[in-house]
Amino acid sequence: QAKKQGGNGFQFCSEEMDTRAHKALELEGDLRQALQLGSFVLHYQPKVKIASGKIDGCEALVRWNHPDKGMISPDDFIPLAEETGLIIALGEWVLREACRQFKAWQAQGLPPIKIAVNLSARQFLQSDFVESIQTILHEFDIDPHWLDLELTESMVMEDPDRIAKLLAELKQIGFALSLDDFGTGYSSLNYLRRFPIDCLKIDRSFILDVASDATAASVANSVIGIAHSLGIHAIAEGVETREQYAFLAMCECDSIQGYLFSKPLPANDLAALLANPTPFKPTT
Ligand code: C2E
Ligand code: MG
Ligand code: MG
Ligand code: MG
């Protein structure tokens, strides 16, 4: 407690801030170096269609393989990458790596699936974003409809008019578009109607209690209803139990993503799943 140290409270705080700033600086340096050394990897989490039980896409999730600290989760470095602008280079690496992996799976004779990539606001709002993503697709000779761009709800609502134009441009090119973490931001349903998105990803926090809490169940059901009234797909994030799955199936949610079916996997493990497809039909 700062106050108890007499007149030194202020200094105590600023020392703590110094340490924090120092740590952030250190991490920023590490991050810069990691980009040069190629210390990032993508893991892929399958998305499963409830009606067929089949994998109908996957989401690429970045991890940092740090020399001393081991695998670092994106929540621990994406915010810093955004602040420092490194997200531009990192985001481009993610797109390129996802495309490279798509082609590698194709070369192995696996059935193609859509790959979803998460975008940051700062990356998406770069003036040359559309051009740079198209350059990458041409480089790998991939049809844009295999790429699903995930934008968070809070990010699109920051500047909805500008975003609506950008989304229309991307849709026109042929990308699939998903609204991530849906329900945690403040969407205007009127804007939502104008965004040419294909899929609402219902945030995990809405899925958590659907099997045990009537209000949570009713809210989740309504969110699925919103997606369907917009004429788009609903996918539930963070599905961990058969009970949640059964409830979502009953509400006619289109797809699920979560530990119940699979955690995010290294590329080879996802390839093994694609090579030996067994429809997912959990019973409760
Ligand atoms: P997100 O896009 O909402 O991704 C879903 C997160 O939920 C992932 O965490 C995933 O591993 C986790 N998850 C999936 N199923 C379950 C489940 O059943 N239970 C639980 N408890 N968690 C589950 P992860 O990989 O740590 O990523 C966290 C966030 O970091 C992502 O949230 C996304 O916003 C961001 N992120 C990840 N990769 C990238 C990237 O390449 N670029 C950008 N800009 N952001 C990224
Ligand atoms: Mg996502
Ligand atoms: Mg999400
Ligand atoms: Mg989420």
pLDDT in tens, 36-74: 999 999 999 999 999 999 999 999 999 999 888 899 999
Q: Ligand nearest 45 Cα, by number?
A: 1
Q: What is the largest CA-CA distance in the chain?
A: 70
Ion ligand 4 neighbours (CB, 5 A) are: 181
- In this predicted model, what pLDDT tens digit does every residue of 159-200 receive, in sequence order? 888 999 999 999 999 999 999 999 888 778 888 888 999 999
Report the Cα 48 to chain-centroid distance in Å: 15
Q: Ligand nearest 201 Cα, by number?
A: 3
Query: How far away, in angstroms, is 104 Cα from ligand 2 center?
Result: 22
Dihedral, 225, 229, 231, 232 alpha carbons, nearest 10: -30
Mode of pairing for the β-strands spanning 55-66 and 70-72: antiparallel
**64 phi and psi, to 5 degrees?**
-110, 115
Q: Which atom of ligand 1 is nearest to the CA of 82?
A: 44
**What mean pLDDT comes out for the span 13-23?**
74
Assessment of whether the complete model's pTM goes beyond 0.90: yes
DSSP alpha helix (H) spans, the chain = 9-37, 78-84, 87-107, 121-124, 129-140, 153-158, 160-173, 189-194, 204-207, 214-229, 242-250, 267-275
Report the Cα 169 to chain-centroid distance in Å: 21
- In this predicted model, what pLDDT tens digit does every residue of 235-264 receive, in sequence order? 999 999 999 999 999 999 999 999 999 999
3-state secondary structure of 55: strand
Q: Which atom of ligand 1 is nearest to the CA of 259?
A: 18
Token output for 222: 């309504």
d(CA 234, CA 263): 20
Ligand 1 contact, 30 CB (< 6 A): no
Contact call for residues 203 and 181 (beta carbons, < 8 A): yes
